[in-house]
Every structure is written in structure tokens, then in C-alpha cells.
Amino acid sequence: MRKKRILRILSVLMVLVMIFSAVPMMALAEDEDDDGTVNIDDMTEEEQRAYLKELEAQIQTYRDNANEQAKYAKALQEEIQILDKQISQVEKEIVDLNAQINAAKLKLDTAQTNLEKATADKVAYQKQLEERMVAMYMYGDNGYLEVLFGSESFSDFISRATAISAIIAYDNEIARRLRDTENLIDAQRALIEEQELALEEMMVQLKAKESDLEDQMQIKNDAVTQVAALKDYWVAQADSLKDEAYELRKILAEKNSSGDFANNYTTFLWPTPGYYTITDYYGWRICPFHGYEWHYGIDIGAPRNAKIIAPANGKILRASWYGEYGNCIIVDLGRDENGNTYKCLCAHLNSYAVDVGDVVMQGETIGYVGTTGNSTGYHLHFEIIINGDNVNPLEWLTK
């Protein structure tokens, strides 16, 4: 018990050490207020960018920590499963052993009953024998001798002597057999008692083993709880910085009129998470409305009101009806370092989640799938426009 408590205290201490040793020192002392909080508004744009990078790196570290704990929790769970199996096995052994002990007890009861019966038989036989002798010869206290001396002739004497010796022999034989039976049962009973003791000793050992396994299980379960708490801690840490990073990106995006939204401009996110079926590709096609025509985007099959997300950071240029496009959103995705401009267009929406002028972050919901405008069913028509020209979105999107 004491050992277990010490182990628990140790593991709690370990957790605390892990938490405090891993908390980073943000290298932003020059922009800290008197209360120690970082004030983004006091920074130059350059500093804001540097801070954003640092935040992103820190978020990654926190997520790595959380993943580490998740891995540890998984390993612990596996160990717990093994222990659980071992405990089940021991419990089964205990049930088996209990059955054996009960069987031995039953045998012991039977042996005891048999022994009592054998003893009673012996006593009864001896009594019966004495009564028979008295009834046959009606002799007094002097027993066999008086029977012999009462002989009327030599032949009578011989016949009485023969009868007496036969009776004595018979008496001895029966008494011996009864005594043997009694001894045999007694020996059996001793043997069973010995077996029962051995079984009970095994039971004590098994129960100790079970208790030991349960202690181990308890320690592992405690560890799982602590690891889960630690994981939650890291996730919460990452989340707290995520909001700050998000705000910072918005500030930077709004500040920057050149349209630099800090995108990587190599890949964009798939606009309809969970729905990846292309019902119509980019390029020449037979259109139900216009016959043979160039298709400026891709059509992605998705149910009514499926989420449409911003494929990258940007600003909403349009969120309104746009002729054959129906309800349409156009997002300005900014400018890469070589000055190329990027936009995307989402058509046939059921409804909008943003307004014109809104700055949106990559992954943020901007609208919902519909079938407005020239459309024959629920789907998203999606275009990517670089320097004013449409490109094949499939060459840019990543799932």
C-alpha cells in the first residue's frame, strides 16, 4: 500500500516537472507590457511576422507534445489490456481451484461418514456377537471355559470346543476386516485432508498474484489518467496560441493592402472536406445548357449544405448572386513573392457564411453547397484564377 502511494506521488511530481520544463520562454521581452503580456499593437509589422512564426513553431511543439502523450497513453492501454488478460486468467484459475477444493471437501465428508459407519458397524458386530454367545449357551460370567466344562461327554466337549474355536475365529476375522476398513478410510481421509491443505495453499498464492496484478493495473490506470490530463494540457496550450496566431494573421492580412495573406502558394486546401468525387473535370465538356464548351473549373459532388472552406487565407471579394453561377463567392487569395495574384471562385451555393470584405483564414467555412443558378444538382463548381486566368484546380488542391 505504502509503495503504491509513493509511486503515485512520484508520478505526479514527474508530470509537474514535465509541464514546467517544457513551457517555452517566448523571446519577446521587448514587447511585453508591465503585466508580462505581449502587446501585438506595439510591434512593427516585421516583429508581428516574426512573432507569428514563433507562435506557429510553438503551436507545433505543443501539438508534438500532445501527440507524444497520446502515444504514451496508447502504449499504457496496451499494457493494461495484457494485465487485464492475466487477471482474467488468474480469476479462471481461482474458479477452477475453488471447484477442486469443494470436490475435496465433499470427498472428505463422504470419507468421514464412511468412517463413522465402519466404526459403528464394528461396535454393533461385537455387541451382537456377545449377545449371540449368551443366548446360545446361557453360560455365566466365566465365558468359554464354563461352556467347555459343562460338557456331558468327550464328544460333546469336542463338538463344543470346535464350535467355540469356530466362533472365535469367525469373530476375529470379522473384527479384523472391520478394523482394516476403519484404518483404510482413516488413511484416505488423512490423504484428502492433505490435498485440501495443498489446494488452499495454492489458493492463497493465486489470490496474492491476483492482488499484485490488480495493484499493477491500478498504477497503470493512474498513469493513463495523468497522461490524458497532460495531453489535454498540451492541446489547450496549443489552442490558446492558435487563437492568438489566428488574430495576428487577420491583423497582418487586413493591414497589408498588397494582398499578401501569408499563404505558401504551392498547394491549397480541398474546398469541400469529406467530399472528393469529381462529377465534371476542368476543360472541354458537353454542357447541358450550352452544348460543347470549356469548363473553367471542377464540379465536386456534395450534398446540400455541405461545408465549403477557404482553400487559403484571403479576403472575400464577392458573396452574392452572379448570373449562371447562382450564389457565388470569390476569394482574393493574395499575391505570392513573385507578384502572381490568386483568386478562387465557388458557385451554385445554397448560402453564405461570410460577407464581402471579410478576411478569412485557410480552412474557415465560407459557405454551403447548393444548386442555385445553372445547375442540375447539388455540387460545388470551383475555380482557381491565377493572374486573371483559370487553371486546373486539381493541380493546386490537396486533400
Residue ranges in contact with Zn ion by CB under 5 A? 299, 381
| Shortest distance in whole angstroms from residue 374 CB to Zn ion | 9
d(CA 152, CA 166): 20
| Shortest distance in whole angstroms from residue 271 CB to Zn ion | 13
DSSP per residue over 215-234, as a string? HHHHHHHHHHHHHHHHHHHH
Bridge partners of 341?
335
The residue whose Cβ lies closest to Zn ion is 381
The Cα diameter of the chain in Å comes to 154
For Zn ion, the closer CB: 249 or 381: 381
Q: Please report where in the chains the cell 466344562 appears, as a residue.
A: 149
| Shortest distance in whole angstroms from residue 325 CB to Zn ion | 9
d(CA 179, CA 167): 18
For Zn ion, the closer CB: 196 or 299: 299
Contact present, 308 and 369 (Cβ < 8 Å) = yes
| Shortest distance in whole angstroms from residue 279 CB to Zn ion | 9
For Zn ion, the closer CB: 231 or 381: 381
d(CA 213, CA 180): 49
| Shortest distance in whole angstroms from residue 343 CB to Zn ion | 16
For Zn ion, the closer CB: 265 or 282: 282
d(CA 239, CA 245): 10
Please give the C-alpha separations between residue 299 and each of 197, 379, 382, in angstroms, as whole numbers.
80, 6, 6
For Zn ion, the closer CB: 151 or 390: 390
For Zn ion, the closer CB: 182 or 299: 299
| Shortest distance in whole angstroms from residue 259 CB to Zn ion | 26
| Shortest distance in whole angstroms from residue 280 CB to Zn ion | 6
d(CA 279, CA 395): 17
Contact present, 274 and 365 (Cβ < 8 Å) = no
For Zn ion, the closer CB: 334 or 393: 393
Contact present, 398 and 270 (Cβ < 8 Å) = yes
